[in-house]
Amino acid sequence: MEQLPKSTMAELQTTVANGQTILFWTADWCPDCRFIKPAMPEIEAEYADFKFIQVDRDENIDLAAEMGIMGIPSFVAYRDGEEIGRFVNKDRKTKEEVETFINNLPK
């Protein structure tokens, strides 16, 4: 999975400008993030039409605040630069919940 370097909102917009992208907000210290991380390669393979990008919340704390990312792990989906969905809360997320989120994104 690609890792987003420290970025501004303008830089992020360039990153998500084309195609379908899902940002996976996480942090090394987060136990709920560590819970879902092992399932991410499988999720990535299952949804190969999306580019998955891992975003370190601590490295991108200003961007997280600007985007309203208050809990991690969180997922934000884009299509051609437009946000099409978010699964953002402070709860632990299962593989099935992440798949349901992706499956329910607008086509």
Q: Within a domain: residue 17?
A: yes
**How many domains does the chain fold into?**
1
Q: Within a domain: residue 96?
A: no
Place 89 in a pLDDT band, splitting at 50, 70 and 90: confident
Q: SS3 of 87, please?
A: strand
The catalytic residues are 30, 33
Instruction: Give the span between the Cα atoms of 16 and 79, in whole angstroms.
Output: 7
Q: Within a domain: residue 95?
A: no
Q: Within a domain: residue 6?
A: yes
CB 74 within 8 Å of CB 89: yes
> Quick one: average pLDDT of 28-45?
96
Q: Has this prediction a pTM greater than 0.75? A: yes
CB 53 within 8 Å of CB 21: yes
Query: What pLDDT, on the 0 to 100 scale, is given for residue 91?
Result: 84
Residue 37 clears pLDDT 90, i.e. is over it: yes
CB 60 within 8 Å of CB 4: yes
Strands 2-4 and 20-26: unpaired
- Which structural domain range is residue 10 located in? 2-89
CATH of the domain at 67: 3.40.30.10
Residue 90 clears pLDDT 90, i.e. is over it: no
Q: Within a domain: residue 98?
A: no
Place 60 in a pLDDT band, splitting at 50, 70 and 90: very high
Mean pLDDT (the chain) is: 96
Q: Within a domain: residue 107?
A: no
> Quick one: average pLDDT of 82-86?
98
